[in-house]
Structure 1
Amino acid sequence: MSIITSRIAYNVDNFGEQAVETAKLIFLWDAEHDQRMWDLMCDDVTFIGPLPDQYANGKEEYKESIKEDFDFWFDLYDEHYILEYYDDEVALVSGSYLVKFRETEPVFFMHRQRFSMLFINVDGAPLLKHIHLSHPDNLIQEGETYPYMFGQDLRKMIDDMKRSATNDAMTGLYNRNFFEANYHGLNNMISTPPYGYVLYFDLNGLKAVNDKEGHEKGDRLIINFAQSLKTAALEVVVQSVTLRTGGDEFLVIAPHATLEQVGALLRKVKQEFKQRCAMLSPFASFAMGFVHLKEGMELKDAVSLADERMFRCKRYIRSQR
């Protein structure tokens, strides 16, 4: 028998503590889908699992019984290991840990798993002879190996909550929470040449629409303008991020756009606005300010300057009425 454990560099001397270290390594390698975990077990290892009739005698049966483990990626938290008994030949280790599926998985699942493990001394190294796993809280439905349906619903709920936190409920665009939560990445995005533009938009006449034609039409105006911006940005600019920063104000970050593309974007927005918004109300129009990004410029500074220029445009439009 090849005793791989004899090559593990233990930080402890006695057999019991070495068994604890081996237990930790087995669970770590299980989480990482590392097949070396099997080298830490006896060929005739026995396994009792948390599922009904889950029992295995020998490595091959054990592998078959937990093969679904390797369909998911998970991490371990809050690990507790107790050395219940040991002498020179055997060691009994028990404890518990939290299993949490990673965010990349299609389901969300977190549960506490309890274990007891019997190790025997084989050529001076602890090998797993028996393991018993149990779940204090069993959410598994009939026919499932994992509580997949529950976890899938929970993952959707979590994703929906995250989306609602960073996406504007009315327009579907990213919101200010998204801007703040992802500021570092957005700032890095604008920091490499060729340097593009930041554009700030504001709807004119929204208050008049709300007062004279009702808030329902005002909401429709906001939604249609958001779609105008998004459609124009996707069509004209290769890479861009469109946000509703609040109320009737919108932001387009185009990190590598050219001045020609900004001009084309503005023309496209006007075209979309005429089709989607002007027909809703004669009071509606929009103002825009933009900033050409430069080396070393912070995104928040660029947004602030674009906002300031947008208000100049807004004041000019008012003066022409």
Structure 2
Amino acid sequence: MNKLLLILKVLAISIILPACLSCSKEDNKETYYADFSYDVQDNQVIFTNASTGDYLYVEWDFGNDESTGKSADKSKVHTIYFPLKGEYEVTLKLWGNLNTESDTKTVTKTISIDADDPDYVNPEGLIWSDEFNSATINTANWKFEVGTGDNGWGNNELQYYTNGDNAKVVDGKLILTAKKVNDDKVQGSYTSTRMISWGKKEFTYGRIEVRAKLPSGTGVWPAIWMLGANLGQVGWPACGEIDIMEYVGYQPDVVHATVHTPAGYAGDGNGSSKSLPTCEEEFHIYGLLWTETSMTFYVDSPDNVVHVYAPAEKNDANWPFNKPHFFILNVAVGGNWGGAQGIDNAIFPQSMEVDYVRVYELN
């Protein structure tokens, strides 16, 4: 009888004990819950663990190839940098007291980054850039053209370009300023800046991006453009002209992109315009995709096209763009186009601010 009772007790324990262990595991799983909060601040996101209950470890995956691994520091606040716009899946994983994969809980949330960080330089495909981060203008990249030019730089412009007096670098931005000298509204009544990379930095094909904020007011005519490096041999327009961005102050909130060739130049240049209501208040990217067969001008993203130039049959007259070109950054005053509706002397000084100039290889 005693042996029978002993056998029955052992059987009872063998049945009850696993059930209790199972209950313990299930109870443990129900004692903690995964959650987190986040605060998006431009391109930085602050993540805070908001989980509750009893658990051993936390593990973060921020969806941008950055993760923490298993950590016992449950209260650590993580500030993560997301340089590029897009949506990212962020996951927080908790490890329960059993410290097994079966005893874990996760929560995943989608965060949105609205814009690329303008200060982020993606090294992939970058050929050259000037970020204007030094104290002065880099003379290895730029030089100044000085004077009033022939016939006001060919456009009856009224500014005198100085040898750097109207250009400076402040807080990582190139500042090109047009100033009033007198109220006469004649050639020399204004000073400004015209910077060129001729003989220093010249390029053929690529993705070009210049981030800038534009001046305002009737009479200003800022431009971001390129000319063929063979200008001295063949002259204009045979060298080719690529106007990545032009702006005339009397027509606010509209930017222009144009090409000039022997087949069409000056008022007959091939171009288009686009409305950009914040161009005077905010920085925008003025871009160019330049291939062997076409030029696509855009604002902020290649999807936001301003103009496409792609002649079906190319020749020297319509495609002088298979040779190196150099950059020009300037702020003109008056002229055939910029001064078509006069000049408001009350607006000066006026500046174009340039955050960077970048040239990438084409994908």
TM-score range, shorter chain: under 0.3
Given the two structures, how large is their TM-score scaled by the length of structure 2? 0.24
Higher RCO (C-alpha under 8 Å, 6+ residues apart): 2
